[in-house]
Structure 1
Amino acid sequence: MIEYFGEFLGTFILILLGNGVVASVNLDKTHSHASGWIVITAGWGMAVFVAVLATADISGAHINPAVTLGLAFSGLFEWVKVVPFILAQMLGAMLGAFVVYVFFKNHFKITTAKGVKKACFCTSPAIRDFKNNFFSETVGTFVLVLAVLLITMPQLQYESLGSSKVGLGSLGALPVALVVFSLGLSLGGTTGYAINPARDLGPRIVHALIPLKNKDNSDWQYSWIPVLGPVAGAALASLVHYFITCNCA
């Protein structure tokens, strides 16, 4: 059970720090209000770093259903553990989002812009075009999952197939944090780069449930894109990884 707790804890830390920086930048009267996209992308990158560093030796620090699926698609993770891992990630993301809400409660109260409040929980497209939005999430997740698979390749020489800890070792924390930082800077402007179904769906559910004053709708019409786009990106990354490993063997 410890690896499931690791995924719960890692995803909780990821969302607490990641959505926390979004709230700190967007909500009224914080010290970092309106500090901009660079702060958000840097904060998300560091959130990944801390979450991976904290839980890599517990569960492999997938902290993302797309990563779990990418490893499973590649034959590097047991399918029987996929659903429990994803469930743990979802619950961790939901708790992280709720704690962000409590942490910034006074700032949520004085912020009047509905969209700004929702952005502290889940993503939305800059231009609403579902085909392009889906493509954006697929491409971004493809880069992330492929990077994770390539970073884990040396580790897999020493891991038994299906080990619960197959994933990011602690040495992978900084490289993957930099990948996420790069994705935010380069590709994040179209959809807010969810690139993680739990990161978006879990907090979106929390946004729908909490008694937030002057709350915007949770945009369930869009919600499938940051879920299925990353799944498609993970599948594509596993295919490319298979091609690379076959030709490197």
Structure 2
Amino acid sequence: MTSPPSASRPPPPVIAPITRDGVRYESRSSHSGVLFVVDETSGKPLWQVEVFKYLVDEQVETDVQVVFFKSMTLDATGTSMLIEDEVGVRHLVDLKTREAKLLTWPVAVSLFEATPGPDGWKYSVELKISNSLTRPLQLDGPSVAEKGKLSNNLFQVEVDGQRIAYQGMMAKRAPPGRFIELKPGATYRTVVELSSEYPVPPGKHRLTVKFSHHNHFSPDDCQLESKPVTRELGDSPIRPMPKPPKP
């Protein structure tokens, strides 16, 4: 089933139904983010599960914001369905328990500050994780460098195309007593200095930083990952952007 084209966005991707053992799995543009399971012969609904639901800004046209399935793949055993949405987030539906969970979640990384020195660059990055879902997102503090502290290898750093080995601690730990609860619409932000753990030698360089780590122990047990960000390091320091004045 497809919806008529909108002036605001192209029609949703056409996802072919998947049939196995007399059961058909399908998506419907009338219910974005929902996996429908029906009897192949009779067409009778068997069950359905909401895989994801994103926030909608009431001030913006709804059609522009609706997120649909981008792809749907049944695993070889027929016990789980891998779904990627239009945002690029991947989800897994357990067809036995009929529950959906996140497999990935996006992270934004930017170079916050960098200062040249005779022994190398002193630099830090800003890490942001925004919750655009309609439910809370549970983050494991050490997995997202809570309060700017590194206790594991959370980043991939390259200098002039060469990977910089992580030189920090690799802490073994038990499940935490608490998680960072990121409410719908909220953004987690922290600034992390990487100079000691991922040392960059003095001189002009091309620096590339990417965040990639698992959200350990959390009910939202998923891979947190950013796109790589690249900056040129020259003779002058890079300073944080000043905050805009309050209205």
**TM-score exceeds 0.5:** no
Q: Tell me which protein shows more helix as a share of its residues.
A: 1
Bucket of the pairwise TM-score, normalised by the shorter protein: under 0.3
Larger Rg: 2
Q: Tell me which protein shows more strand as a share of its residues.
A: 2
TM-score (norm 2): 0.24
